[in-house]
Structure 1
Amino acid sequence: RRATGFTTRSDIGPARDANDPVDDRHAPPGKRTVGDQMKKNQTADDDDEDLNDTNYDEFNGYAGSLFSSGPYEKDDEEADAIYAALDKRMDERRKERREQREKEEIEKYRMERPKIQQQFSDLKRKLAEVTEEEWLSIPEVGDARNKRQRNPRYEKLTPVPDSFFAKHLQSGENHTTVDPRQTQFGGLNTPYPGGLNTPYPGGMTPGLMTPGTGELDMRKIGQARNTLMDMRLSQVSDSVSGQTVVDPKGYLTDLNSMIPTHGGDINDIKKARLLLKSVRETNPHHPPAWIASARLEEVTGKLQVARNLIMKGTEMCPKSEDVWLEAARLQPGDTAKAVVAQAVRHLPQSVRIYIRAAELETDIRAKKRVLRKALEHVPNSVRLWKAAVELEEPEDARIMLSRAVECCPTSVELWLALARLETYENARKVLNKARENIPTDRHIWITAAKLEEANGNTQMVEKIIDRAITSLRANGVEINREQWIQDAEECDKAGSVATCQAIMRAVIGIGIEEEDRKHTWMEDADSCVAHNALECARAIYAYALQVFPSKKSVWLRAAYFEKNHGTRESLEALLQRAVAHCPKAEVLWLMGAKSKWLAGDVPAARSILALAFQANPNSEEIWLAAVKLESENNEYERARRLLAKARSSAPTARV
């Protein structure tokens, strides 16, 4: 019956005998009776010191203190303090090593036997992916363990009465009887002023069911379910195969045309309004709260409410650029200009507000006036100078840029723009000043090389690029090979061939291991061809041929490049150099002869093959090429003589 025993004073009884056993049934010998326990306690009370012979050592004496029962005086306290200080000093000698060892042991132990919290840390991180609907669908925790075994209950099966089926069969039917109290426009004549819910059960109002009815119209429930399903489908109509089609960059722009039409959206908007209102009230000087509130009202189509909110935000956050820019965006033309003018008074150093003010102006002169006024307040803004220069004529732009580089001496773009507008001599002076002010930028050197090439001083291009590499390294700039190759490709596309070739020769070997040079250079050449930078590829092949003059594969790659992207003259010149360095390469001789033959110069092709015979006297390919050349030109007699010589010199199966 799960009763709990208890003891009263009357149950204690007389004192226990010394021979009575103790309660512990598993006590060791000497402790099994009450008398043994009493003797032990008496001994402990009489003398706490263990002075037995087994506890005595001839050298150290007794293990315990012989004077523990004596008085504790001041000299004892001093002695204990000295011993404690010595122990502390000895303990600190290897404290760091001991703590490090203990730390490592603890870490090793934790790795071998991790905590339950660590074992489930990865699963806990995945809880961040659980949606709110999944959280709400988790059932409540209940004590359902072994419930059936703890509370065995017999199942009772009871037949359903026929009245239950009859009642639910009639629940889906429509009742068309008219109550005599029903009015013309629906409802019932009742003594209550509301007139909707009647005191009689079963009376139907125009759109509400009175609480007295005990029936449910299953047809209307089905219609409501279909309506809800249509609403859900319309909300997710922008989903394709489970992926939403939302442009994150243009999301705010798309919100302008999105007007909520469903109850779920309206409820979300109400919640958002309440949340943003709470944020505005608790922290009225928080700019994002005002911007978010205004955009929410803009999305819902309440543009005037959004304007009022953002103007209130400008009052509460007058030093926020974003709030003023949002207010200028929401307001119409003239009002936006007034808002920007007010923003300038609060933030006279804001570049974004000045740019927005210039964008709102439609007249070019008004734009210039706004930007010049802005430059008076913020003369060191590169963005304002660039916007102002773009509106000026070339002569006025040159004058303005000369002032701009004084205010912004570290802007490479302004220096290069000024150099483009100056004459040759003045441009050289401008670029020299730019190098003095910005000694770590490579674009100034490249522009100087392009300037010299454009004015016919191609011999200076190589020197400028070499000086650029040396100067940049002296100023601690790392020479990034990929960046320089990209600059060379841009020079190639701009028509600065000498500059691009000089850059390639200067940087092509930087940062490459000696055994990887050939492979890397061939890949660089292919990359340049893919980027349509043919002069860069030609420069790479030329440099590679200087380093590897006896590599047949490099000559072949260069020859195929000239064949596909160069002229016949460049191909023939390259092949002449190739056969001079690789006379045993039959394919190079044959390419040269074929090029001459395709150009209609048969004697030149014969002479090339004759030179090939001298370098390769027993080559089957060269003999067959010579025979083919004569047969294609209807010189059959010469072809027969060549074949006869070939059979004696190179008696192969093909011959």
Structure 2
Amino acid sequence: MEEVKWDAIKNGRRLMKSSTERNPKQPLCWIASARLEEDAGEMEAARQLIQKGCEECPNSVDVWLEACRIANARSSPNSNEAGKAVIARGLNLIPNSVKLWMQAANLEHDDSNKSRVLSRGLQHIPDSVLLRKAVVELATAEKSNEEEEEENANAKQSMNLSWEPERARMILAEARKRGGGTERVWMKSAIVERGLGNVEEERKLLDEGLKKFPSFFKLWLMLGQLEERLDRLEKAKEAYDSGLKHCPNSIPLWLSLVNLEENLNGVTSARAVLTQARNKNPHNPQLWLAATRTELRHGNNKEADILMVRALHECPNSGILWAAYIESMVPLPLLNG
């Protein structure tokens, strides 16, 4: 087993080296390379690779965040000094990055230091809602647990209409009357009825909503899911098919149809739908990943390996594909042609 893993790591290193040489300005290539070394237990190699990634991609927030994580993983427990140094270098180059300022604050243990970092961030990005929210949350954290729980409960109650279904019905019905309502109003209306178990009213709202907003994929998705709940699988298929005519780039609709076809007619039908989906969306990593996992579920490991190689060639910068590859640690065959 160790020999297999070592072969996988060597094969992965070859693939990653080729990827970083071909795409030195692509952050995800460096991140994936560093994570491969980390998985192999070579933390110094991981640090050197991600440092090279910072040099090649100095304006990539993701690379600096990864460098921070690896730096802290190599340092002593509860010490964030190495990570702080990395983030400081990143902020010198990208001072308008909200994510980097938030990470800088998270690395501080003391609330006063957190507040100081967030304030500095706001000096650079005064219109950042996220930074202001963090400052407010930090300030209110000093309140007693009882007061905080009460405030959170009130906030949730005021924001979550599903706690008061009859009131929600009234508000949403009024919104639909005023100019017909938005697509989200129709969606939320159907959700309320679904929560109450009113299947026919839910279906009626979805049907009416789709007449007004046929390009809103979530309504088609909800209609298909409604039919699936009622075990009307052919009707569900019709809903997904109709939705895809209006929304051919909706990945959730494609994936729902794939799952349905796999359950109804097996892997051959699911494979055909996935091929059609990829033809319309050739550079979508979720579809490639779904195709790979479909083959794996049915024991078609060789086909899955070939699909993974094709996927990484079509989507060389996809984080989810590189992560899936590294997690599986399966040696990949070379792609001919």
Pairwise same-fold verdict (TM > 0.5): no
Query: Which interval holds the TM-score relative to the shorter structure?
Result: 0.3 to 0.5
TM-score normalised by L of structure 2: 0.44
- Specify which structure has the higher proportion of helix: 2
| Greater C-alpha Rg | 1
**Relative contact order (alpha carbons < 8 A, sep ≥ 6): 1 or 2 greater?**
2
TM-score normalised by L of structure 1: 0.24
